Every structure is written in structure tokens, then in C-alpha cells.
Chains A and B, each alone.
Chain A
């Protein structure tokens, strides 16, 4: 009798352990399969031309130079605009308004924005910028990316400032430092590594974003540094090229996909290293 119960419990447990191990294997296998496909298909497409020539017409040779430039340029501007705003807002939530209802509401809204569909942000910026200016532009693309950066930076800044021990703030206050100076010179400095991690993660996030650029920055087949004109970006070029029937465009799309993934994963590993060194 007892033995039967034991055997059944052991059996159930065994099945359960095998299933959860299998789940972990499936997750890792998915990552490996995706990375393998990227390396296999993308590596062959990489050449000097990818970095030096612009996106070609179907059938002719070319590269991704204008798209790489566009992606880097728009991401950098978006981060430069979004980071200070996000840091200041996160500072308000953690330092000034920690227990107020206003901070509670802002925190809630920020967490919604953090996971809101990025295509909605594209629609918003389209109506706000593109519809008013009557043409697509890199400005609009940067605005959309900045809107994505802000909630990420707000969240990490607040989290990191909350980790700073209150004794540090009290020490600053006891030597007579005004609040603003104690925040900038003491708490920000103590939370620096964490905030940098947050910014890096934000860069990683926007450099792969496609949906918000579709109808803001649009695309541009040529080299352009004019923020008033449409600008190419890697994700949009991948989208366009992969959906085309041309073999050479597919090769370039894979090369671009490999570049983006390498950049994004390097950034996030880097961010994690900084984070773990702080601990």
C-alpha cells in the first residue's frame, strides 16, 4: 500500500523534473537555433561593401552604409534627448516624491509605457510630427525612439536610487549640503553604474526597434544626413529587403540582421557586466 503511494509520488515527481528540464532545453535550443541561422546566413553576406556602399537597387551590388549610419545617428540623438529627461523623472520618483500619490500615478503610467506596443508610439509620433510637417523625417524617427528610451531610463534610475542607503543622504544633509547638491554629488554618484546599465539597455532596445520607425523616419535608399528628410535604418531595411523577392536583397537583410543582433547582444552583455561588478 505505502509502497504504491511512494512509487506514484516518485513517478509524478520524475515526470515533472524531466518536463521542467526539457523546458529549459527548449529555451536554450531556440536561442542557439536563431544565432546559428544568423551566423550561417549573415556571415556570408558580410563584406567591406556592406559598410562602405549604400543600399542597392535590386540586382545591383551595394551595402548597408546609409542604414548603419541612420540607425546609429537616430539612436544616439534619441538617447541624448531621452536620458536626461528619464534620469530627472526617475530622480523625482525616488527622491522627492517617493511616497506621494503623484509619484504613484507616474510610476504606474511609466510602467504601462514601458511595455506599451511600440507601433502605438509610432502612430503617436506620426500624428504629432509627420502629419503636421506633411513629410516623413529623421526628426520624427528620433522623437519616437526617445519616447521609448524615457520609460526605460526612468525605471532603472528609480530602482538604482532606491538601492542607495539613506545614511548617505543623511550624511550629506548633516554637513549642510542642499538637497539638489546631495542628490547630484552623492546619490547619483552612488547609483552611477546602475544608471549606465539602464541607458545601455535602452540603447540595445531602440537599436532593434522597427515598428516605431515604419511611418516616422520611413526609409531612404540614399546616403542622407539631413534630419529633415527620411532616413534609412537597419531594421527598416531588413524588413523591406526580407519581404522582397530578390535573392541579393535577402543576403543583405541577413547581413544586417547579424549586425543588429551582434550589437544588441554585445550591449546587453556589457550592461550586465557593469551591473554585476557593482554588486
Chain B
């Protein structure tokens, strides 16, 4: 009797201590996950703080003219970001112009046209294109694509547009092979899989009933795509395109190889130019003097600000679509 009471008492106390122990380990685990999650925020904040503090000297020295000035002269220590910003925006815009229609085309092919047996292999091939590291695009662009472009395509373009008013300025000059246009073409191949993957996923969220109803009234594939599917999934397609634009703006290695790294603004798309990321990649380790280094970090800050806005818009558009289709989708 005494024994039982004792053991009961000890079992109660061991149970309560076990509960306490579980409670503690539970709280500890929760705290671990929370602090890891907060670390993500800390990394983001750290990036902002380090970029702003690093670029302080340059922004203080040059003021707002840093954004509008296109002189980049390490010898006289005069730096302006305009040529690099211009090159970044132009090469990315051109790449988007090429990649968006192609990417949507691929998505349409995959969702509507592709024979079932080919669907998976074609989809995987396009996704592998996204997996190829950017340095590979760079070396391929430099050794394979640029020479081909210089010898075959560029002379033809220069000839063809030689007498067309606006075009002759855009495509003027000797065929260098490397330049803004070449960089934009390589970029467009790189971002193509991002656009087509997101677009395909978004197309698949369109309720089949809508499409079947349209086909039932006698619409052609083109009419179903342009009047039903695209309007329905517009936010997602734009979101996917913005995501790809974010990639294109910040892409470094593929561009650095083929853009030519010339710090001046040239009307001709065939002439060498530069981008923010290519400038940083090429010059950072060799930069001498605080102003030079600080100016390069300021370039990084500008790039981060631009991509942040673009990516934020992309998130918002994709999220809005996700909410509408009931939480499922990319």
C-alpha cells in the first residue's frame, strides 16, 4: 500500500517532469526555427546596410550626378553610373523583347500542341536550359556565338538596315561580334526557360471548363489562347516575365564575356557597351583607392534597388494569381 502510493507519486512527478521537459524542448525547437527565419531577414538587412555604407563615400562625393553622369575614369577618379545603368536597361529590355514571345510560344506549345509522349522530354529540355550555369553561356557566347555572329549575322544586318532611317543608327558600325546586341541575345536564351516554366504553370491553372466551352463554340486554338487563356492568366504571365527581367538585370558572367566592357553610350546596338554587373565583375578586384571601390559598391546598390523593385512587383503579381486560383500554383 505504501509502496503503491510512493510509486504513484513518483510516476506523477516523472510525468510532470517529462511534460516540462517536452515543453522546454518544444520551445527550444520553435525558437531555433524562428531565429533561422529571422536570419533570412538579417541577411537581407545586412545586404542593404553594407551596400549603403560601402557606397556612402561615392554618393557623398558625386551626389545625384552619379546617376546621370556617364564618365567613368579611374585615373582622374571621376565616376558616373549612367553608361552602366543604360547598358543594363538596354540589354535587358532587348532580351525581354526576344524572350517573352518565345517563352510564351513554348508554353503554348507545351500546354496545347505538344503530343503527350513529347511533353515530358521537351519540358525537361527547356528546364535543363535553366540549369546550365551562366559561366557556360559566357564561354559559349565568347568562343562560339560571337564569332558566328560577327562573320555571318552582323554584316547581313548592317547591309540590310544600311538605308533604313532609324535602323541604320541602331545597327551601325563595324561587326565586332561582341556588344550589347550579342549580350542581349545570350541573355534572352538564359531567361527563356524561366518565362516558359512560369507561363506553363500559370496556363495550367486556367479551368479546363473555360477552354472546353470556348472550343465548343468553335474557337480555334489561337482564339482560345488569346481570348480566354491569356486574359485569365495575365497577372501570372506578367509576374513570370518580371521574374525573368530580374534575372536578366543582375546576370553577370554571361554578359561580362560578350558585352565588350566599354564605358560609353553608343547609339548602335552592335557596339560594345557595359552593364552594372559586368563593371563590378571586371573591375572590383583591381580597383585602387577608396573612391573607386565605393563607386563600384554604389553601382551594386543601384542594381539591388532596381532588381528589388522588379522582383517585388513580380511577387505581388504572382501572389494575386495564386490567391485567385485557391492557393495552388507556382
* B-binding residues in A (CB < 8 A): 9-10, 12-13, 16-17, 19-24, 26-28, 30-31, 33-34, 37-38, 41, 84-89, 91-93, 95-97, 102-103, 105-106, 108-113, 115-121, 123-124, 126-128, 147, 150-151, 154, 178-181, 183-184, 204, 207-211, 214-215, 218, 235, 238-239, 242-243, 250, 253-254, 257, 260-261, 264-265, 268-269, 272
| Cβ A20 vs Cβ B106 within 8 A | yes
**A120–B125 touching, CB < 8 Å:** no
Contact A13 B315, CB 8 Å, known A20-B108, A179-B26, A211-B253 = no
CA distance A126 to B51 in the complex (A): 10
**Which residues of A sit under 8 angstroms from B50, Cβ to Cβ?**
123-124, 127-128
The residues of B with any CB-CB pair to A shorter than 8 Å are: 22-23, 25-26, 28-30, 32-41, 43-44, 46-47, 50-51, 53-54, 101-106, 108-110, 112-114, 122, 124-129, 131-140, 142-144, 189, 192-193, 196, 220-223, 225, 243, 246-247, 249-253, 256-257, 277, 280-281, 284-285, 297, 300, 303-304, 307-308, 311-312, 314-315
With beta carbons under 8 angstroms apart, the residue of B113, B277, B280 that contacts A20 is B113
Decide: B37 and A41 in contact? CB cutoff 8 A. Answer: no
Contacts of A151 in B (CB 8 A): 40
Question: Would you mind naming 21 contact pairs between A and B with Cβ atoms under 8 Å apart?
Answer: A22-B105, A23-B104, A23-B108, A27-B126, A27-B192, A34-B140, A41-B143, A85-B36, A89-B33, A115-B246, A115-B247, A120-B51, A123-B54, A128-B46, A150-B40, A208-B134, A239-B256, A242-B142, A257-B135, A257-B136, A261-B133
Q: Which of B25, B110, B221, B256 contacts A17 (CB 8 A)?
A: B221
Minimum CB–CB distance for B57 against chain A, Å: 13
Which residue in chain B gives the minimum CB-CB distance to A41?
B143
Q: Given the complex, which residues of A lie within 8 Å of B220, measured CB to CB? A: 9-10, 12-13
Chain A minimum-CB-distance residue to B219: A9
Q: Do A127 and B106 have beta carbons less than 8 Å apart?
A: no
